[in-house]
Structure 1
Amino acid sequence: MAFERPDPGLEQAAACGDSRAMMRLARFFEDWNPEQSQRWFHDAAEVGESEAMYRLAELLTKGQADQARHWYRRAAEAGHLEAMYAMSRIGDNLEERGRWLRRAAHSGQVEAKLELGRALRDRSLPQEAERWLRAAAEDNGERWVEPLDLAATDAGLGPRHQACLDLVALLTAQGRFDEADQWRGRARRILRWETSVNRSFFTRSATGTVVVTAAVTTAVIPFVHALISKAAEDAYGQARALVQRMLRRSPSSPSETNNGATLLIADDPDAHITLCLWSDVTDEALRALASLDLDELTAQRPDRGRIRLVWNSATARWQIRGDHPDQ
């Protein structure tokens, strides 16, 4: 069976070390080529993408538990909420699991808030328990997993609904019947909402299909010189305007509009320099780009062919690649 290939510009950027391009490729392949998907998640994880670390850990859970734990821990240490919650379940000991549970709850992970509230309730700490159960019940996030059947729905599968029901029980036990009734009504409203929504509505854009990239041939050196030759704020504005003009000249498609930033490949054939840039480029990246001496870069590698520049958000530096394997 023949499958659609990803955009060549995206593959080029990923091969040059662009972690966002790696993530797009990993998601592009995950439904029909798990090995390729895992490869790109691994490469993105290696350059510091916490979401890639988490997704890689998920893929490794069944067959390589130790490696999965390694990547869960690295993702959690990098601030990934779901990885923190995962570590609260698979940490090496009770102390570590409790530490990750509290960190996940304080960071806003709704299941962690619910679980911490229940743990405090079971330890006869009703005031602290109420605080975390309220935090879970009042969470305004859109993360919701559709129940498999009505019985599961009635049992309160959603964490916000479960937190409401737990609050009803906690407040009733304390004789706070009016408050308990208020939370019982809120639980009913949340349940109706959760059972009426279409799960696909809450699919994050991060897990969507790969965007169609815009491959544009232009001069890189004038682009960078435009940054250097003007005052800082004006230079950033000029750079953004140039990116937008390039994108307007490029073919557009609904997938570009619906899936966020577009990848721009700017190529200077005379200078043998390729610049991989996203349309939502940050001021930090532009500032760092303006400080690069591209003449010096090319002089350092007169016999090494093309130089590729890719922004590494994890290290906040431009990554410089050559054509050779050791680059």
Structure 2
Amino acid sequence: MADVPTLVEQARQGRPRAVARLISLVEGASPQLREVMAALAPLTGGAYVVGLTGSPGVGKSTSTSALVTAYRKLGKRVGVLAVDPSSPFSGGALLGDRVRMQEHTSDPDVYIRSMATRGHLGGLSWAAPQAVRVMDAAGCEVILVETVGVGQSEVEIAAQADTSVVLLAPGMGDGIQAAKAGILEIGDVFVVNKADRDGADATARELNHMLGLGEARQPGDWRPPIVKTVAARGEGVDEVVEALEKHRAWMEEHGVLAERRRRRAALEVEAIAVTALRERIGDLHGDRRLDALAGRIVAGELDPYRAADELVEGLTTAG
């Protein structure tokens, strides 16, 4: 069994191994998870969480690495949570080596962790919110959450981040894809990466046009900026950081940041409760209550919805 108080204290001191151990307890749904979360609760709330999403090939990892460099120049301690597609064989992260971020691995004020989605369609692991909490408690001032590019389900990043960054690239049909995927609604900052390629200006114009279509913003509302970058060369990255800081200041001024964090906490509680309920239902396979309900459905005495109501009612009152 892990010594949770010692691990938490070591994580607060910025020791990478302690942070890694705590996230492993989270990811493995350890029996000590409740103790870990209780110990971390009073230590969280200081980190600015930035989500990065976009289609495969737009340069998310390169952009994330460039943002780490920019924030380190500002003296910030940075955490990176890279949520990858799961291996169908091991359940591990296929892209766990994070080759593009190797330059930061020797920096004690940068913590990088890959996490598998484990088949979760939203692109974010169920454990991602708790992993963010560990990094927050460990003193990371900025946490970058980079998600897999899985199209329409990428909108889940909006529920997990203070600010959502949507990356696009010229020549990939990203503008149309963004409109289809509903990404336009969740983006707080848009980045056209690989801006040295032909078509970058046209992509930015098309994106600007689509953002203006049907716009129902009031005076003082946030209008997502569009920033052009060449992340591989670090060009335009400082402008992205400037846009992020402006959005953070706007959210704080208008009470949006606090509201987003409340909503995020509510979703986290809901996910934990649903997971617990699902586990209890899973334990019922072969149970006489479930078998009895199934028999009544087959006999035409009960419909599946009423049976489900009875099952849930029995589980919740018994708990």
Q: Pick the TM interval, shorter chain.
A: 0.3 to 0.5
TM-score by length of 2: 0.34
Structure 1 or 2, whichever has the larger Rg, is 1
Higher relative contact order (CA 8 A, sep 6+): 2
